[in-house]
Amino acid sequence: MYIVIIGAGSIGSNLIDLAVRDGNDVVVIERDEERANGVAAEYDCLVLNADATKNGTLVDAEIDRADAVISTTDVDAVNIMVMLLAQEHDVPNLVSVVHDTENLPVFEKIGVTLIENPQRLIADYLYHSVRYPGVSDFVDLDDETELVELTVAEDAPMSDQPLERANETGALPEGCLVVALKRGEEIRAPRGETTIRAGDQVTVFTDDAALSDAVAAFTGDRA
């Protein structure tokens, strides 16, 4: 893919690393000269030390070739302007971080894929890591539900439990659904007859009210 990334701050720099390592053609636009020079020295990509809100800069980045433009600056006004300009160049994939929820309608009107309040996402992740040490990953789906990835402990209530009996025995709390299971290198969609084993990695859909019980069911730990 040909990807234009706006901003080389904490979010942008990690994104640049992922995109370049995955073999994409990457162009970075960064106003700060020191940051721009740092990216140019570390990565095999084109770096423009320029203002991305200027159409000429985007032309220099060959935006008409772009499969995606991703704006990661910490100023919503800059991100909005970049998205509007990219839209005029018919870029098929527009992605931006959004820091102020009041600006969401503007981004949505443009048709941007949003990464809302990345600082809050980081804070949520850190909080979950402390409160639920058994959770290896999680994704908030909305204000009330999320997906959590857990490794099943030997002495956990769900260890050696067939899923079809887990609700009857009370081992699996109400409001929880096992949607994926990884055993060794094999990933499968669990069925009723699937028996959960210690060491399995399970992805569980749960509402917030049942989250603590869900973690305890598979890890034996209770927050």
> Where residue 173 sits, what CATH number does that domain have?
3.30.70.1450
pLDDT tens digits, one per residue of 118-142 = 666 666 666 666 567 777 777 766 6
Residue after which a domain boundary falls, among 86, 116, 146: 116
- Beta carbons within 8 Å of 204's beta carbon, 6+ residues apart: 147, 148, 149, 150, 176, 177, 178, 179, 214, 218
Measured between alpha carbons, how far is 201 from 16 in angstroms, rounded to an integer? 30
Tally of structural domains, the chain: 2
Q: Which pLDDT belongs to residue 144?
A: 78
Q: Which residue would you say has higher pLDDT here, 116 or 77?
A: 77
Q: Residue 196: which domain range?
A: 121-219
> Is 0.75 topped by the overall pTM?
no
Same domain, 100 and 168: no
